[in-house]
Amino acid sequence: MAFKTDAKKIKRWREERHWSQEHLAELAGVGIRTVQRIETGEPASRDTLTALAAAFNVDAMALCIDPEEEAATLFKTKNEKVRSGMRLAFFIHLVSYVFGMILFAAISVGMDAFVMKWAMIWWTVGMAGHGVALALVELVTRHQDK
């Protein structure tokens, strides 16, 4: 059975101790190619994981990725992508809105009457709705991240 190892942690611990991959492989009694594969994120066997844990003088589970923690990280990443996409869409809409309001005001001034009143009102309603949706997404995702 292969275990999903925390490749970043293993590499970080090895570098913190100023060990080369060869040195770690020698301490653990595994091949250098095995250390290289593990540090690139490939799964490790139970024996290999146990040998690496002994080299680092830690429990073998300390070198594995916690599935709940990984799921939480993925969830937060997804939430952040949704939030950033919504923010971008809102600011694009806002810039278009400002440009449109200037254009509508110029048209109304040129015609000596306020002919673009309803277009301005309904676009403002749409802009407010977009702002409310963004605020709700921000509120919900921040609450879920806690």
H/E element, 44: strand 44-45
CB-CB contact of 134 with 86 (8 Å):
yes
pLDDT at 146: 64
Give the pLDDT of the chain (146 residues) as one tens digit per residue: 556 788 888 999 999 999 999 999 999 999 999 999 999 988 888 899 899 999 999 888 888 877 677 778 888 888 889 889 999 999 999 999 999 999 999 888 878 778 888 999 999 999 999 999 999 988 888 777 66
- Specify the CATH class of 2-63 in words: mainly alpha
Write down the pLDDT at residue 145. Answer: 65
Q: What is the pLDDT of residue 3?
A: 64
How many angstroms separate the most distant Cα atoms in the chain?
88
- Domain definitions of the chain by residue range: 2-63, 67-145
Residue 25 contacts residue 55 (beta carbons within 8 Å): no
Residues 6+ apart with CB under 8 A from 32: 21, 22, 25
